[in-house]
Protein backbone atom coordinates (compact mmCIF):
# COMPACT_ATOMS: atom_id res chain seq x y z
CA UNK A 1 0.00 0.00 0.00
CA UNK A 2 2.84 2.42 0.85
CA UNK A 3 4.42 1.85 -2.54
CA UNK A 4 1.10 2.41 -4.34
CA UNK A 5 0.66 5.69 -2.46
CA UNK A 6 4.18 6.74 -3.47
CA UNK A 7 3.47 6.08 -7.15
CA UNK A 8 0.07 7.83 -6.95
CA UNK A 9 1.68 10.82 -5.26
CA UNK A 10 4.35 11.13 -7.97
CA UNK A 11 1.74 10.99 -10.72
CA UNK A 12 -0.34 13.62 -8.97
CA UNK A 13 2.70 15.80 -8.34
CA UNK A 14 3.25 16.19 -12.10
CA UNK A 15 -0.29 17.31 -12.78
CA UNK A 16 -0.97 21.07 -13.17
CA UNK A 17 -2.79 22.69 -10.23
CA UNK A 18 -6.57 22.73 -10.59
CA UNK A 19 -8.25 26.01 -11.46
CA UNK A 20 -9.97 27.81 -8.62
CA UNK A 21 -13.68 27.13 -8.46
CA UNK A 22 -16.51 28.38 -6.31
CA UNK A 23 -17.73 25.59 -4.01
CA UNK A 24 -21.32 24.56 -4.71
CA UNK A 25 -23.47 22.29 -2.66
CA UNK A 26 -26.02 20.09 -4.38
CA UNK A 27 -28.42 17.50 -3.14
CA UNK A 28 -27.02 13.97 -2.99
CA UNK A 29 -28.11 11.65 -5.82
CA UNK A 30 -30.91 9.20 -5.11
CA UNK A 31 -29.72 5.88 -3.74
CA UNK A 32 -30.68 2.67 -5.54
CA UNK A 33 -33.07 0.62 -3.52
CA UNK A 34 -31.22 -2.58 -4.34
CA UNK A 35 -27.56 -2.79 -3.19
CA UNK A 36 -25.11 -2.94 -6.08
CA UNK A 37 -21.81 -4.74 -6.37
CA UNK A 38 -19.35 -2.06 -7.60
CA UNK A 39 -16.86 -4.73 -8.68
CA UNK A 40 -19.19 -5.65 -11.55
CA UNK A 41 -19.70 -2.11 -12.84
CA UNK A 42 -17.63 0.01 -15.19
CA UNK A 43 -17.96 3.55 -13.78
CA UNK A 44 -17.25 5.07 -17.20
CA UNK A 45 -20.31 3.51 -18.84
CA UNK A 46 -22.71 2.54 -16.07
CA UNK A 47 -24.77 4.76 -13.77
CA UNK A 48 -24.90 2.77 -10.50
CA UNK A 49 -27.98 4.73 -9.39
CA UNK A 50 -30.12 3.61 -12.31
CA UNK A 51 -28.91 0.13 -13.23
CA UNK A 52 -30.89 -2.89 -12.13
CA UNK A 53 -28.22 -5.43 -11.11
CA UNK A 54 -30.46 -8.31 -12.05
CA UNK A 55 -30.24 -7.24 -15.71
CA UNK A 56 -26.48 -6.63 -15.84
CA UNK A 57 -24.22 -9.27 -17.33
CA UNK A 58 -21.04 -9.05 -15.24
CA UNK A 59 -19.04 -10.81 -17.97
CA UNK A 60 -19.53 -7.79 -20.28
CA UNK A 61 -18.34 -5.19 -17.76
CA UNK A 62 -14.74 -4.13 -17.11
CA UNK A 63 -14.12 -3.77 -13.35
CA UNK A 64 -11.01 -1.66 -14.04
CA UNK A 65 -11.53 0.77 -16.95
CA UNK A 66 -7.77 1.51 -17.03
CA UNK A 67 -6.89 -2.15 -17.38
CA UNK A 68 -5.94 -3.50 -20.81
CA UNK A 69 -5.44 -7.26 -20.84
CA UNK A 70 -2.72 -7.96 -18.31
CA UNK A 71 -1.79 -4.26 -17.96
CA UNK A 72 -3.35 -2.13 -15.24
CA UNK A 73 -3.25 1.57 -14.36
CA UNK A 74 -0.12 1.18 -12.20
CA UNK A 75 1.80 -0.47 -15.06
CA UNK A 76 0.82 2.40 -17.37
CA UNK A 77 1.67 5.14 -14.85
CA UNK A 78 5.03 3.51 -14.09
CA UNK A 79 6.02 3.26 -17.76
CA UNK A 80 4.88 6.82 -18.44
CA UNK A 81 7.07 8.06 -15.58
CA UNK A 82 10.09 5.95 -16.44
CA UNK A 83 10.33 6.98 -20.10
CA UNK A 84 10.91 10.74 -19.62
CA UNK A 85 13.08 10.05 -16.56
CA UNK A 86 15.29 7.77 -18.68
CA UNK A 87 15.40 10.19 -21.60
CA UNK A 88 16.30 13.17 -19.40
CA UNK A 89 19.13 11.39 -17.63
CA UNK A 90 20.51 10.08 -20.94
CA UNK A 91 21.00 13.64 -22.15
CA UNK A 92 23.16 14.27 -19.08
CA UNK A 93 24.97 10.94 -19.28
CA UNK A 94 25.95 11.62 -22.89
CA UNK A 95 27.94 14.64 -21.67
CA UNK A 96 29.86 12.64 -19.07
CA UNK A 97 32.84 11.35 -21.13
CA UNK A 98 33.93 14.84 -22.14
CA UNK A 99 33.15 16.63 -18.88
CA UNK A 100 33.97 14.29 -15.99
CA UNK A 101 37.52 14.26 -14.64
CA UNK A 102 37.11 11.01 -12.70
CA UNK A 103 37.54 8.08 -15.13
CA UNK A 104 35.80 5.63 -12.79
CA UNK A 105 32.78 7.93 -12.57
CA UNK A 106 32.77 8.30 -16.35
CA UNK A 107 32.84 4.50 -16.65
CA UNK A 108 29.83 4.20 -14.31
CA UNK A 109 27.99 6.85 -16.33
CA UNK A 110 28.57 4.81 -19.50
CA UNK A 111 27.21 1.68 -17.82
CA UNK A 112 24.10 3.51 -16.60
CA UNK A 113 23.55 4.93 -20.09
CA UNK A 114 23.72 1.45 -21.64
CA UNK A 115 21.20 0.13 -19.11
CA UNK A 116 18.78 2.98 -19.81
CA UNK A 117 18.99 2.61 -23.58
CA UNK A 118 18.29 -1.12 -23.26
CA UNK A 119 15.22 -0.51 -21.08
CA UNK A 120 13.56 2.26 -23.09
CA UNK A 121 12.18 0.03 -25.90
CA UNK A 122 10.68 -2.37 -23.34
CA UNK A 123 9.00 0.54 -21.53
CA UNK A 124 7.57 1.85 -24.78
CA UNK A 125 6.24 -1.61 -25.66
CA UNK A 126 4.20 -1.61 -22.44
CA UNK A 127 2.41 1.57 -23.54
CA UNK A 128 1.98 0.23 -27.07
CA UNK A 129 0.35 -2.95 -25.75
CA UNK A 130 -1.92 -0.82 -23.58
CA UNK A 131 -2.96 1.26 -26.59
CA UNK A 132 -1.47 4.44 -25.13
CA UNK A 133 -0.50 6.92 -27.84
CA UNK A 134 0.21 10.63 -28.09
CA UNK A 135 2.31 12.90 -25.92
CA UNK A 136 3.56 11.58 -22.59
CA UNK A 137 1.74 13.45 -19.76
CA UNK A 138 5.01 13.71 -17.78
CA UNK A 139 7.19 14.99 -20.62
CA UNK A 140 9.10 18.07 -19.45
CA UNK A 141 7.73 17.95 -15.91
CA UNK A 142 9.95 18.73 -12.94
CA UNK A 143 9.78 15.98 -10.36
CA UNK A 144 12.16 14.03 -8.10
CA UNK A 145 14.74 12.12 -10.12
CA UNK A 146 13.93 13.91 -13.39
CA UNK A 147 16.68 15.74 -15.28
CA UNK A 148 14.85 18.57 -17.05
CA UNK A 149 15.85 20.82 -19.92
CA UNK A 150 16.18 23.62 -17.37
CA UNK A 151 18.69 21.49 -15.43
CA UNK A 152 20.68 20.79 -18.58
CA UNK A 153 20.71 24.48 -19.49
CA UNK A 154 22.04 25.42 -16.07
CA UNK A 155 24.76 22.75 -16.30
CA UNK A 156 25.95 23.80 -19.77
CA UNK A 157 28.47 26.50 -18.73
CA UNK A 158 29.65 24.68 -15.60
CA UNK A 159 32.93 22.75 -15.70
CA UNK A 160 35.41 20.97 -13.47
CA UNK A 161 34.67 19.83 -9.91
CA UNK A 162 31.43 21.86 -9.74
CA UNK A 163 29.98 20.03 -12.73
CA UNK A 164 31.11 16.71 -11.29
CA UNK A 165 29.43 17.46 -7.95
CA UNK A 166 26.14 18.42 -9.64
CA UNK A 167 26.35 15.40 -11.97
CA UNK A 168 26.71 13.09 -8.97
CA UNK A 169 23.72 14.71 -7.25
CA UNK A 170 21.50 14.30 -10.34
CA UNK A 171 22.63 10.71 -10.90
CA UNK A 172 22.08 9.69 -7.28
CA UNK A 173 18.65 11.34 -7.11
CA UNK A 174 17.60 9.62 -10.31
CA UNK A 175 18.82 6.15 -9.28
CA UNK A 176 17.14 6.42 -5.89
CA UNK A 177 13.82 7.57 -7.37
CA UNK A 178 13.75 4.88 -10.06
CA UNK A 179 14.38 2.26 -7.37
CA UNK A 180 11.53 3.61 -5.25
CA UNK A 181 9.02 3.83 -8.10
CA UNK A 182 9.96 0.44 -9.54
CA UNK A 183 9.41 -1.20 -6.15
CA UNK A 184 5.94 0.38 -6.19
CA UNK A 185 5.32 -1.16 -9.62
CA UNK A 186 6.31 -4.56 -8.24
CA UNK A 187 3.80 -4.19 -5.42
CA UNK A 188 0.81 -2.82 -7.34
CA UNK A 189 1.33 -3.51 -11.03
CA UNK A 190 -0.33 -6.41 -12.82
CA UNK A 191 1.58 -7.12 -16.03
CA UNK A 192 4.21 -9.89 -15.72
CA UNK A 193 6.62 -8.31 -18.22
CA UNK A 194 6.39 -4.97 -16.41
CA UNK A 195 7.08 -6.77 -13.12
CA UNK A 196 10.15 -8.44 -14.61
CA UNK A 197 11.48 -5.15 -15.97
CA UNK A 198 10.79 -3.32 -12.70
CA UNK A 199 12.59 -6.01 -10.70
CA UNK A 200 15.59 -5.76 -13.04
CA UNK A 201 15.60 -1.98 -12.57
CA UNK A 202 15.58 -2.28 -8.79
CA UNK A 203 18.48 -4.73 -8.95
CA UNK A 204 20.59 -2.69 -11.38
CA UNK A 205 19.93 0.66 -9.68
CA UNK A 206 20.80 -0.79 -6.28
CA UNK A 207 24.14 -1.99 -7.66
CA UNK A 208 24.77 1.32 -9.45
CA UNK A 209 24.02 3.27 -6.27
CA UNK A 210 26.46 1.10 -4.34
CA UNK A 211 29.15 1.82 -6.93
CA UNK A 212 28.38 5.55 -6.85
CA UNK A 213 28.54 5.58 -3.05
CA UNK A 214 31.91 3.82 -3.18
CA UNK A 215 33.33 6.23 -5.77
CA UNK A 216 32.21 9.29 -3.81
CA UNK A 217 33.07 8.12 -0.32
CA UNK A 218 35.75 10.14 1.55
CA UNK A 219 38.03 7.09 1.67
CA UNK A 220 37.93 6.81 -2.12
CA UNK A 221 38.11 10.50 -3.03
CA UNK A 222 40.94 11.39 -0.61
* φ, ψ at 196 (rounded to 5°): -65, -45
Q: Which residues contact 13 (CB under 8 A, 6 or more apart)?
A: 143
Note the pLDDT of residue 47.
40
- For residue 209, give the 3-state DSSP assignment: helix
Please list the pLDDT of the chain residue by residue as tens digits (222 residues).
444 444 554 444 444 433 333 334 334 344 343 333 433 333 333 343 433 333 333 222 233 434 456 899 999 999 999 999 999 999 999 999 899 999 999 999 999 999 999 999 999 999 999 998 876 666 656 788 999 999 999 999 999 999 999 999 999 999 999 999 999 999 999 999 999 999 999 999 999 999 999 999 877 665
Quick one: how far is CA 126 from the chain centroid? 13
Give the span between the Cα atoms of 177 and 181, in whole angstroms. 6
Q: CA triplet 166, 172, 176: central angle to 5 degrees?
A: 150
- What residues make up the domain containing 171? 73-221
Count of domains forming the chain: 1
Give the span between the Cα atoms of 116 and 138, in whole angstroms. 18
Whether 15 is in a domain gets the answer: no
pTM: predicted TM-score of the whole model, two decimal places: 0.69
Whether 150 is in a domain gets the answer: yes
Question: 147-152: which pairs have CB atoms within 8 A and are 24 or more residues apart?
Answer: 147/85, 147/88, 147/89, 147/91, 147/92, 147/174, 148/88, 151/88, 151/92, 152/88, 152/91, 152/92
Whether 56 is in a domain gets the answer: no
Whether 203 is in a domain gets the answer: yes
Note the pLDDT of residue 60.
28
Cβ distance 101 to 160 under 8 Å?
yes
Whether 175 is in a domain gets the answer: yes
User: Tell me, what CATH number does 161's domain have?
Assistant: 1.20.1260.10
Whether 195 is in a domain gets the answer: yes
Note the pLDDT of residue 137.
64
Which residue, among 183, 175, 182, 179, has the nearest Cα to 212 in the 3D structure? 175
Amino acid sequence: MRHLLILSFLVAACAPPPAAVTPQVSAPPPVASTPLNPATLNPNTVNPNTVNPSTVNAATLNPDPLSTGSINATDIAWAQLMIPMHEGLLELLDQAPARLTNPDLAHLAAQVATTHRTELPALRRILTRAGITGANPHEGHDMPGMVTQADLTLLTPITGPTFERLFIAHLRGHLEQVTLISRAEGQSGKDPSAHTLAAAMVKSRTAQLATLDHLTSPATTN
